[in-house]
Amino acid sequence: MTSIKRSNSGKTASMNLRLPPKKATKSVAKKAASSQKIFYSIVHTIPGRIRFRIPLLGRDTEYANQLKLAMESDPRVTNVRANPKAASIVINYKVGVISDNQMREHLVNLIQTAQDVVLPKEVMAKSIVGAIFDALINLIDNTRKINQARNVLVYRRFRTDIWERMLSTSRSIIKRLKSATMFILPNKRWRLRGNGEANSQPLKLKSASEPNLI
C-alpha cells in the first residue's frame, strides 16, 4: 500500500509541473500586445515644426489621446495639433534646445511608446461621451438611409417626409449637444494641474538615445 501511495504522489507532482503558469502566459501576451510597432511617416518638417502621418490615429481614439498627452508633457513641445480624420499630428517645438535630428528621434520614440501612457480619468470620460454621441449620430444616419430607401420604393422617387425632417432635426440637435458637451468637459491639462497625485508623479518619458536631454 505504501508503494501505491508513493507512485500516485509522484504522478501528481509530475502533472503539476507540466501545467503552464496562467499568470505568466497572460503577462507575456499583454507585454507583446503593448509593444506592437506603430507605423508612421514624416509628411513635412522644418526647424521647430514637424508633421507625422500615423494610420493608427484614425482607428484608435485612445492611442490618439495617449500620443497627444505624451507630446504635450514634453517641456520642449510648444503646441500639438492632432487630426484623427487625416491620421496626422503636427508638433511645434522649441528650436535650439537640441538638434532637429535629436528632436525628431525623440518624437518617433514617443510615437512608439505612447501606447503605454496611462490616460487620466477625465480623458477617458471625454472619449466615452464622444463615442456615445457618435453612436447616436450613426444610428440616426442609418435610420435615415432606411427611410429614404423606403420612400424610393413606395413613391418611385426621394421625398422629404415627416420622418426625414424629424431625423434630420434630431441629428442637428445631437451634433450641437456633442459640441457643447465636449467644450464644457474639463481640459486634461487643467485636470492634471488640479490633481495632487499627478503633480507628485509627473509623466517622464525618456529616449534611450538621449538620456540626459529629457
Which tens digits make up the pLDDT trace of 56-113? 998 898 898 889 988 988 999 999 999 988 999 999 999 999 999 999 999 999 999 9
Report residue 123's pLDDT band, with 50, 70 and 90 as the boundaries: low
Helix 162-184 and helix 121-155, axial crossing angle in degrees, nearest 10? 170
Nearest to 107 by CA among 58, 44, 51, 189: 51
Q: Are 98 and 58 in contact (CB under 8 A)?
A: no
Q: What is the pLDDT of residue 91?
A: 95
Residue 155 reports pLDDT greater than 90: no
Q: What are phi and psi of 213, to 5 degrees?
A: -105, -10
Indicate the DSSP class of residue 36. Answer: P
Q: What is the pLDDT of residue 152?
A: 82
Residue 49 reports pLDDT greater than 90: yes
Q: What is the mean pLDDT of residues 10-18?
A: 45
Could you tell me which residue, 209 or 37, shows the higher pLDDT? 37
Residues whose CB is less than 8 angstroms from the CB of residue 164 and which lie 6 or more positions away in sequence, other chains included: 144, 147, 148, 151
87: left (phi over 0), alpha (psi -120 to 50) or beta: left
Q: What is the pLDDT of residue 42?
A: 93
Helix (H, G, I), strand (E, B) or coil at 77: strand
Residue 212 reports pLDDT greater than 90: no
Which residues is 77 bridged to in the sheet?
Answer: 93
Give the cell for residue 174: 445631437
pTM of the complete model: 0.44
Give the cell for residue 40: 508612421
Helix (H, G, I), strand (E, B) or coil at 123: helix
Report residue 35's pLDDT band, with 50, 70 and 90 as the boundaries: low
Helix (H, G, I), strand (E, B) or coil at 52: strand
Which residues is 108 bridged to in the sheet?
Answer: none
pLDDT tens, position by position, 181-210: 877 776 544 444 444 444 434 444 444 444
